[in-house]
Amino acid sequence: MFDTGTTTFMILSTSLVMLMTPGLAFFYGGLAGKRNILGIMMQTFVSLGITTILWIAVGYSLSFSGGEGGIIGNLDWSFLRGIPFNQAYSGADGKYPEYIFIAYQMMFAIITPALITGAFVNRVTFKAYLIFLVAWQLLVYYPFVHMVWGGGLLATWGVLDFAGGIVVHATAGFAALASVFYVGKRRGKQSPPNSIPLVAIGTGLLWFGWYGFNAGSELKVDAITTTAFLNTDIAASFASITWLIIEWVKEGKPKFVGLLTGAVAGLATITPAAGYVPVWAAVLIGIASAIICFAAVGLKNRWGWDDALDVWGVHGMGGLTGTILLGVFASSAINGQSGLLEGNTSFFIKETVAVLGAAAYAFVFTYVMLIVINFVTRVKVTEQEEIEGLDASLHGERAYDEGSL
């Protein structure tokens, strides 16, 4: 009944996207100060458990059942009721079970709110974060999944997002900026990365997992799948080297963290466009991502926004840039959708308006959400907890034996 090759491909893609969450934990954990390594890694890893429970209970249903042309779905498929284990996923011509699609989309839901955590490292209590993790998905992530990928409002308008420029990176990045404005600056803002090798391991896992993130988003195996795969690597490579060169010229030395950050910026930026643009456009998108995201990080520093791990600059601006450039470079020869360069001004405007609207909604709603959560439980850590570090003050653990350092 099912195609073995396609089924195996989707299982592999799902596994690759799952691997990105531990990769993100290593990436953020290496960038954090040594007193907050476990705190930031735990915020990432806990999403594997909490989000899975939430996704099975209501997330998949709210995202993909009912609500055609609307903002959110319904609860017809809550707890996966009415979906037999051997039911074929209709969106892939019945080539694999729907359970694999459910799992694949769940991995996206897991990593998206975890992206936000890098912005407010060592400033948010764990209890408040858990409430935020649930509320943000219910009120921000699921609606945009439904509107873009679940047959909702934006889909009916003709808005496209291959693997999450709007749904994942723009919403998470601008939510991160809102959280920075709410929690304020760190007291130890100049805390250097505790382990650049750990950042490198995290980047490697993210880059590797991103092939499943982007190529898997075709949801089948064809020429678009391989195009998305190749475009992903090309954009990341050109972005990493462009960032390296910019920083080298600006600061006089080639920085390893800059190379790694540039790669992640390129990966985030190509995400919405990976299956819609030709290879030459992926080159330009990679270069543009490094220039724009580097400038955004510099702007953030100049204006004093304490986005600790540059979530807004890399993911927010990357998702925004990639979605707009999708509107520019989309090629009808690749996936049937023409962009601005082929004379389709309407599609370019739709992509631009959609991503700007998503960014604005995520920013405003996140800020309001944190205000409301603070009425339930304290959002910001105390001065003493921040000075001691969240690893010890909130979790009673330390990443390293201080005596051996």
Secondary structure (3-state) at 124: strand
Kindly report each contact of residues 333-338 with a partner whose C-beta sits within 8 Å and lies 24 or more positions away, as own/partner: 333/278, 334/224, 334/227, 334/275, 334/276, 334/277, 334/278, 335/224, 335/275, 335/276, 337/160, 337/276
Q: How would you classify residue 344: left for phi > 0, otherwise alpha for psi between -120 and 50, otherwise beta?
A: beta
Read off the pTM: 0.96
Q: Is residue 123 part of a domain?
A: yes
Percentage of residues in the chain having pLDDT higher than 90 = 94
Task: Please provide the average confidence, as pLDDT, over all residues in the chain.
Answer: 96
Of residues 28 and 403, more confidence is placed in 28
Is the pLDDT reported for residue 33 higher than 60?
Answer: yes
Could you tell me the CATH number of the domain that includes residue 183?
Answer: 1.10.3430.10
Q: Is residue 402 part of a domain?
A: no
> How many domains does one find in the chain?
1
Q: Is residue 274 part of a domain?
A: yes
pLDDT classification of 405: cutoffs 50, 70, 90: very low
Residue 373: predicted pLDDT:
98
Q: Is residue 405 part of a domain?
A: no
Q: Is residue 182 part of a domain?
A: yes
Q: Average of pLDDT values for 55-68?
A: 96
CB 125 within 8 A of CB 394: yes
pLDDT classification of 202: cutoffs 50, 70, 90: very high
Residue 189: predicted pLDDT:
66
Q: Average of pLDDT values for 259-288?
A: 98
Contacts of 389 (CB under 8 A, 6+ apart): 33, 34, 35, 36, 39, 122
Q: Is residue 400 part of a domain?
A: no
Q: Is residue 194 part of a domain?
A: yes
Q: Is residue 62 part of a domain?
A: yes
Structural domain containing residue 152: 4-390
